[in-house]
């Protein structure tokens, strides 16, 4: 309002505040973020949040266990290459001998199982030196001297599983030969199981577990095929 005639004066818009663009990698920001992240790991601060405190303790313990096994691997520990064997083994819990680790007469019903470059025959794998001494380490000794452990751990000895199975392999796999999958496929079909082997021509051993690799669509399709429409309840 004008002080002389009482009329309103137009309001002049204020200039917008100037904002300085800062990179996410600005040294000041990074230095502050790193310092804050270290301070927040202080157990005294973590203890205020019981969930985060338990997570921190678990992280420390698992890191120490990893470092221990890295320096001195534990005898009998299964190497990563046995994930495919373990998938089949878990699907065969009802086929394992009574009293064997993992045995369950009526386990959770599965739609199927996908094995990626799995060691399906532990005896043949040991004779062929697959993954060096990994199979004796897994069993805790020479397979020839441990027939009961072989009978409860080797997927080919647990057939039939009674559910669909897909075995995905890389043609260039230098660790687990495709013959493992082919011999298992023949034995499974003879036992009455529905089994299919998918060979990825351009893949080796580790590409099968890499979602960014060219082998992943084959793995994805194998899982999708087993999920399919749910069977009608009896």
Same domain, 171 and 93: yes
Same domain, 122 and 55: no
Question: Residues near 167 by Cβ (< 8 Å), separated by ≥ 6?
Answer: 84, 114, 115, 118, 120, 181, 184, 185, 195, 196, 197, 198
Residue 189 is predicted with a pLDDT of 96
Residue 74 is predicted with a pLDDT of 53
Same domain, 64 and 134: no
Residue 76 is predicted with a pLDDT of 47
Rounded-to-integer distance, Cα 87 and Cα 117, Å? 11
Domain residues for the domain of 67 are: 38-71
The length of the chain, given as a count of residues:
234
Same domain, 150 and 43: no
DSSP-based three-state secondary structure for 170: strand
Centroid of chain to Cα 70: 19
**Which residues of the chain register pLDDT less than 50?**
75-78, 234
Query: What pTM does this model have?
Result: 0.63
Q: Would you say residue 170 lies in a domain? A: yes
Same domain, 67 and 128: no
Q: Would you say residue 91 lies in a domain? A: yes
Same domain, 218 and 125: yes
Select from 229, 232, 234 the least CA-distant residue to 112: 229
My answer on whether omega of the bond before 160 falls inside 30° of 0, hence cis, is yes
Question: Residues near 191 by Cβ (< 8 Å), separated by ≥ 6?
Answer: 159, 160
Domain count for the chain, please give it: 2
């Amino acid at each position: 309002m004008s002080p002389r005639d009482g009329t309103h004066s137009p309001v002049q818009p204020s200039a917008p505040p100037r904002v300085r663009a800062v990179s996410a990698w600005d040294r000041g920001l990074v230095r502050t973020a790193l310092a804050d992240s270290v301070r927040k790991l202080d157990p005294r601060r973590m203890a205020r949040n019981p969930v985060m405190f338990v997570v921190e303790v678990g992280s420390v313990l698992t890191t120490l266990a990893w470092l221990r096994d890295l320096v001195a691997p534990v005898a009998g520990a299964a190497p990563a290459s046995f994930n495919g064997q373990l998938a089949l083994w878990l699907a065969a819990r009802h086929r394992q001998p009574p009293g064997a680790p993992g045995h369950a007469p009526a386990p959770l019903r599965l739609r199927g199982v996908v094995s990626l470059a799995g060691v399906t025959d532990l005896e043949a794998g040991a004779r062929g030196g697959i993954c060096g001494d990994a199979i004796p380490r897994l069993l805790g000794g020479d397979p020839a001297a441990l027939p009961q452990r072989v009978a409860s751990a080797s997927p080919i000895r647990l057939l039939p599983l009674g559910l669909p199975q897909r075995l995905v392999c890389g043609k260039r796999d230098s660790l687990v030969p495709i013959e493992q999958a082919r011999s298992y496929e023949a034995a499974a079909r003879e036992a009455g199981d529905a089994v299919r082997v998918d060979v990825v021509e351009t893949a080796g051993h580790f590409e099968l577990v890499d979602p960014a690799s060219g082998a992943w669509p084959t793995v994805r399709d194998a899982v999708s095929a087993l999920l399919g429409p749910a069977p009608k309840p009896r």
